[in-house]
Amino acid sequence: AQTVTQSQPEMSVQEAETVTLSCTYDTSESDYYLFWYKQPPSRQMILVIRQEAYKQQNATENRFSVNFQKAAKSFSLKISDSQLGDAAMYFCAYRRPGNQFYFGTGTSLTVIP
């Protein structure tokens, strides 16, 4: 069974500082994709960043980067220079070949001015 675990229900960060959100997953597949989605208070979920399991290089999108440790099945999200607009629920997701997405329970990020 594939599961995604986000062990931090809530996190906070000072504006302009860096925060790391944790995610671990369980799979027996060798090829898959990992995603981080952001759900602001307006509730529309949007993609932040994604990583293919076969790529060793960590994905980066502006202030967002991941630390992908395949052997450890860990996929953390680092947000640098945090901004007030980064406040949201962040969901880690795993997609295996075929179709199914599996989501974690989410981490609620608060940005303190």
Partner 1 sequence: ETGVTQTPRHLVMGMTNKKSLKCEQHLGHNAMYWYKQSAKKPLELMFVYNFKEQTENNSVPSRFSPECPNSSHLFLHLHTLQPEDSALYLCASSQTLAELTDTQYFGPGTRLTVL
Name which position in 13, 104, 107, 109 contacts partner 1 (CB under 8 A).
104
* 111 touches partner 1 (CB under 8 A): no
Handedness of CA 81, 86, 92, 98 (dihedral sign): negative
Whole-Å CA distances, 83 to 4, 51, 59:
26, 23, 20
Cβ proximity to partner 1: between 100 and 113 the closer is: 100
* 69 touches partner 1 (CB under 8 A): no
Question: In 39-52, which positions are buried (b, 16+ CB within 10 angstroms) versus exposed (e)?
Answer: eeeeeebeebbebe
Q: Which residues are paired to 74 by β-bridges?
A: 24, 69
Question: Measured from the CB of residue 81, what is the shortest distance to partner 1 in angstroms?
Answer: 24
Name which position in 25, 32, 36, 68 contacts partner 1 (CB under 8 A).
32
* 73 touches partner 1 (CB under 8 A): no
Among 16-24, 59-67, 79-87, 102-110, the segment contacting partner 1 (CB under 8 A): 102-110
Structure tokens at 5: 């675990």
